[in-house]
Amino acid sequence: MAEEKEPQGEAHENYDNEDVIHDVIPVSGMYQNWFLEYASYVILERAVPAIEDGFKPVQRRIMHALKEMDDGRYNKVANVIGQTMQYHPHGDASIADAMVNIGQKDLLIDTQGNWGDIRTGDSAAAPRYIEARPSKFALDVLYNPQTTDWQLSYDGRKKEPVTLPVKFPLLLAQGVEGIAVGLSTKILPHNFCELIKASIDLLKGKKVKVYPDFATGGMADFSEYNQGLRGGKIKVRAKIEEQDKKSLIIKDIPFGTTTTGLIESIIKANDKGKIKIKKVVDNTAKDVEIIVDLAPGQSPDITIDALYAFTDCEVSISPNACVIIDEKPLFIPVNEILKLNTDQTVSLLTQELEIRKAELMEKILFSSLERIFIENRIYRDIEECETWEAVIETIDKGLDPYKEQFYREITEEDIVKLTEIKIKRISKFDSFKADELLKKLEEELKQTEHHLAHITDYAIDYYSNLLEKYGKGRERKTEIKSFDSIDTTIVAANNQKLYVNRQDGMVGYGLKKDEFVCECSDLDDIIAIRRDGKLVVSRISDKTFMGKDIMHVGVWNKGDDRMTYNMVYLDGKTGRSMVKRFQVTAITRDKEYDLTKGAKGSKTLYLTANPNGEAEVVTVKLTSGSKARIKVFDFDFSTIDIKGRGAGGNILTKYPVRKIELKTEGVSTLSGLDIWYDENVGRLNKDERGIHIGKFNGDDHILVIYNDGTYELTSYELTNRYEPNKVVHIARFDPKKPVSAVHYEGESKNYLVKRFLVETTTTEKKFLFISESAGSKLILATTDSNPMIEVEYVKGKSKDKIKEELNLNDLIDVKGWKALGNRLHQHNVKKVKLLESAKSEQVEEKHKAVNAEDKPKVEVKPEMKADIKTENDKSSKGPSGYNVGDTIELDF
């Protein structure tokens, strides 16, 4: 008989029951929990490394699988991937990628086959074609089953390490990058040797600083590294050298780039007109070598700066040190990571020593028991025992007199081990050998206890042994340098032409039918000064309206304190003609500035732009109807000061002006341009950084002497660059000042001294002034007028070193720059050092002695008036601000 179905109404009543409603879980709550679990899994199990060993889980499982398979021979990577999949619940592709990444760092995996190239971006061969095994370094520092914490694998079939017991700051050595849910990590690789030395310094209580080091080499500025924390950044540059005046060579590339990507960025910059090159050739093989051929007329120095500014030859990297500590992601500085790793190494070494101590004590105990058991013939006492219990009791009773000498109680397990000794071993027992074994074990135990008592010294020795064993060939590859900021508007190639329609007020590079002004780049700012006395600066574009009736237009450079504008304008309020000189060093783009007093009807009568502060003489012609007695007169702009653009200026004339004409071209009224050389970055500057090399005017040059025995005359353009580690001497070139040099002549093996005048006039070309023979080298060079050196030498076969000070002026006369010179000293020279000139010291002391009260006073004479200038010029008193007859102080 069929069962009756429940009435529908009763079913509805069950759904209305309160208990059933309380069991319903909102979807939103489920999503929140699931998402948090997913985020936690990604952070802890996939993307972020553990502080203990520096590994992500996949990397740890790869290294564990490699150790399990290790028999000293290479294994196919495909097999290693299969072994790893027993522990890693993901696909083989992710395991292969992670393994190649570890192998390319050349530290933990001994590779064989084509594993790709991080420099060129070439990928590794398929896993079935390449092989791997743990490196000797990995076997030394990564594994120890006795100090490893184990956990079950994801399917519960096997055990895998929670973390590997790494006795080395591996996280910082390898670096790591990962993106998780809501956070990311980027720890840059650091130098192997420097990390070990830093760990040793930490153990000695010293403060340390460690900086990244990249396998791709290059140069890096770590001034804003911020110990790898968020907000910090580093700049990495390719190493670019001038092969000749027509080509550059790139020898290293920045971290994170490839030669292919770098070349593409250069071609892209060239297509955009940022740089001008003929071609790029990639000759990379064992070493990186990219040849960049320059377009005709392009400066190598400016092109190098442009490559850094517009291509991947310079990249900025933002580190973000995030690690897992106690199952939580934390952001900590690299110095703290290093300290934690160093402390962990000490802790692991302590554990290993404790384990070894326990093993030795057990070996000593059993060896002693064995000796007592055999020498006292206790084994014979058990011959008549009929039960196992009787055997154990008999042996235990036989050991009673000796139990006090043992460090622990003798257990039944110890007695059972004695019964397992074979008769053959008993019959051949040698008490002398037993004593020797015990002695060795006790000595080792004593040494182990000593290490435990001096664990810090033991850890230092451990690190030192690692450095000695594995440090060779792992020296720093990335050069630590300070970079100067590059002004992109200066180094950008002139890829546009500037045109102007003065009447309509249109300016830009798209007005090809209008008046050509100059070549420029598409990054430049343009300045325009109009007839109404208004000034405006705008970013260059295809076509920009800058106001009608433009009198001057050109490229404006921010901070240019040499460009000077000479101006005459009519003041609309008074009817006077005003004259002024001004500079425009800072400006707000697209804002109009009034160069007049702002009165209605004011207008510009005369205007010139002078790149080096030139001051011309003009002829002013007044209207024929003016009441002035002299209607034509000359005015020299050098008689007034250079002031700000907002200054009203001086009165030129109160009468109406008909015309102003140029009479004579002007000469610069600015003092020489002070140039400094920053030896940290190898660049010239006006910011008083580094060595002051002089004041420069017009066609002055810089003399640069290099350590390869060559000299070069260069301009004083701030875009010039010099290799700091190659420059021996740099100074303003004075053709009357001789160069004094000491060099080692390779053929005769003698130190020679020479003095010569630079007679060559060719600039931007190097001239060799020492011997071309192999082994020749420049020791020192100077243009000091009183060059003093200290020579260290030995006489004959004596080992005593003698020091002597010599003046190079006394040793040789000035000769031609090609002459080899004379022998420096008759005895065997060991060392030569340049001393500060005695003459220079005397002058400096004299200068210090002259204080404000002792400064000589001089009466101003008419013939001196035009030559004396001060900061407080007053146009009514002439350029000096003083009248004839005034008494002034002169500061030597």
Active site residues: 129
Q: Do 409 and 403 meet the contact criterion of CB atoms below 8 Å apart?
A: yes
CA–CA distance from 781 to each of 102, 216, 681, 834, 840 (Å)?
A: 49, 35, 21, 8, 16
Residue 537, class by beta-carbon neighbours within 10 Å (0-12 exposed, 13-18 middle, 19+ buried)? buried
Residue with tokens 């892209």, as numbered in its chain: 268
280: number of Cβ within 10 Å:
17
Q: Do 878 and 865 meet the contact criterion of CB atoms below 8 Å apart?
A: yes
Backbone phi, psi, residue 220, to 5°: -140, 145
Residue 688, class by beta-carbon neighbours within 10 Å (0-12 exposed, 13-18 middle, 19+ buried)? exposed
Helix then strand then coil, % of the chain, to nearest 5: 30, 30, 40
3-state secondary structure of 772: coil
Backbone phi, psi, residue 480, to 5°: -85, 120
In the chain, what is the greatest distance between 2 CA atoms, to the nearest angstrom? 154
CA atoms of 286 and 284, how far apart (whole Å):
7
CA atoms of 119 and 368, how far apart (whole Å):
62
Q: Do 634 and 618 meet the contact criterion of CB atoms below 8 Å apart?
A: yes
Nearest in space to 479 (alpha carbons), one of 298, 681, 206, 673: 681
CA atoms of 501 and 512, how far apart (whole Å):
10
- Token output for 856: 């000589």
Q: Do 64 and 139 meet the contact criterion of CB atoms below 8 Å apart?
A: no
Sorted by sequence, the CB contacts under 8 Å of residue 405 that are 6+ apart come out as 368
DSSP, res 44: I
Write out the DSSP string of 310-332.
HSTTEEEE--B-EEEETTEEEE-
Angle subtended by helix axes 334-375 and 192-203, to nearest 10: 70
Residue-wise over 797-808: b if at least 16 C-beta within 10 A, else e? Answer: eeeeeeeeebeb
Given the DSSP bridges, would you call strands 642-643 and 577-582 parallel, antiparallel or unpaired? parallel
DSSP, res 212: B
Write out the DSSP string of 393-425.
HHHHHHHGGGGGGSSSPPPHHHHHHHHTS-HHH
Name residue 804's beta-bridge partners.
791
Residue-wise over 350-361: b if at least 16 C-beta within 10 A, else e? Answer: bebbeebbeebb
CA atoms of 228 and 221, how far apart (whole Å):
13
CA–CA distance from 727 to each of 360, 516, 730, 854 (Å)?
A: 62, 42, 7, 40
CA–CA distance from 375 to each of 61, 178, 434, 862 (Å)?
A: 51, 65, 11, 122
Q: Do 569 and 576 meet the contact criterion of CB atoms below 8 Å apart?
A: no
Give, in degrees to the nearest 5, the angle at Cα 156 between 155 and 160.
Answer: 100
Nearest in space to 649 (alpha carbons), one of 610, 606, 708, 701: 606
For residue 35, give the amino acid letter: F
Write out the DSSP string of 844-860.
HHHHHH--GGG--EEEP
CA–centroid distance for 124 within its chain: 29
